[in-house]
Each structure stands twice: as structure tokens, then as C-alpha cells.
Structure 1
Amino acid sequence: MGIRKVATAAKALNRVFVGNLPWTISNRELKQYFSQFGLVSQVNVVFDKKNGFSKGYGFVQFAKKESIQLLSETPNHKLEGNVLTIQPATF
């Protein structure tokens, strides 16, 4: 396995998929919410290239894997009334 694949796999361990995002949530707001669980190293709300609106999902990457544990100990995550779907990112 090459160094690049190892680095990518290591990053994926600290990364989660976040679904059911309100269309009004930006990268800044997503980072602000998830910062309560630890240092957020990267966020990415996915936007439609044609219309510029959020597709309703994104990704959050934490600096430490302990943040994922803290995140999973909280039963419900809500932003602007939407209950978020959170799963480990597979890529």
C-alpha cells in the first residue's frame, strides 16, 4: 500500500458523513456545531453546482479519533430543527 493510500485511510478514520442538513447550513455553521466534540480539521457541505444550493449532506473531519467517540455518545444531533444523520465516512 502506498503512502498516499495510508494517509487517506488514516484521515477517513476521523471523518463522518452528515446527512439531512438544512439547506441553509454553510461550512462555517457545520464546523461551529461539531467543534463542541473536538478540533475540526475540515468540513465540506456538498453544494449543487448548477443551482448553488446545498444537497443536504456533507462531511466533517476531526483532528483526533476521540472526537468521534464523543460524537457517538450524544443521541440526537439537530441543526435548525433537522435531526442529522451521522455515519462513519467510508472514503
Structure 2
Amino acid sequence: MKILIRNLDRETTEQELTEAFEKFGKVQSCDIVKEKHNGLSKGFGFVEMPKPGDAKAAVKSLNDTMLGANKIRVKYAVDKAVDASQDNSK
């Protein structure tokens, strides 16, 4: 499952983020989104965990907790392509 992490401290590394999530299970991938022109963190990222139960435990436990100097917000990532295709109300 893909998890979205917002409000990351700009100094948080992918290694630190991975370690925080590994407490709940295997981390398949971890990516902090960075500015193209200077390589600095944009303050959010994604973690993928193969087991839904592990992902659920991580989201529940890590949301609104401190990581680095910031209180992070953790939720399931929504695939924009899938989300847009399911919106037939327009």
C-alpha cells in the first residue's frame, strides 16, 4: 500500500523515514519529493509497504507524531488517475 506523509521536516532523510515505518513492517520503497532546481525536500513523501495490515498500523500509529522537528500527517495515498476516472458526477 502506498502511504502519503505530509509536513516532513525539510531535513528528514529517506533513511530516517524508512526507519520510522520499518517499526511496523517491511518497507518496499521510500521517496521524499524534492525540488527539481535545487534538490531540497518539498516537505512530503511516499512510503510503500507490501502488507496492508502493516501499512494500516503505520498510518494509525505515526499520524500526528513528531519526526524530526515537525508533527507529520500520515494517510493512504490516492492514485489521481484512478480517482479521476471514478468521478462521473461532472
- For normalisation by structure 1, the TM-score amounts to 0.78
The DSSP-based 3-state class of the residue aligned with 2:23 is: helix
Query: Aligned partners of 2:9, 2:33: CA distance in 1, in Å?
Result: 12
Counterpart of 2:51? 64
The DSSP-based 3-state class of the residue aligned with 1:71 is: helix
Letter in 2 for 1:51: N
Counterpart of 2:85? none
Q: Which stretches in structure 1 are left out of the alignment for 5+ residues?
A: 1-13
Shift of 1:52: 1.2
- For normalisation by structure 2, the TM-score amounts to 0.79
The DSSP-based 3-state class of the residue aligned with 1:28 is: helix
Query: Aligned partners of 1:73, 1:16: CA distance in 2, in Å?
Result: 11
The DSSP-based 3-state class of the residue aligned with 1:37 is: coil
Query: Aligned partners of 1:72, 1:26: CA distance in 2, in Å?
Result: 19
Calculate percent identity across the aligned residue pairs: 28
Q: Determine whether 1:85 maps to 2:66.
A: no
Runs of 4+ residues over 2 Å off in structure 1? none
Counterpart of 2:19? 32
The DSSP-based 3-state class of the residue aligned with 1:30 is: helix
Shift of 1:90: 0.6
Query: Aligned partners of 2:72, 2:28: CA distance in 1, in Å?
Result: 20
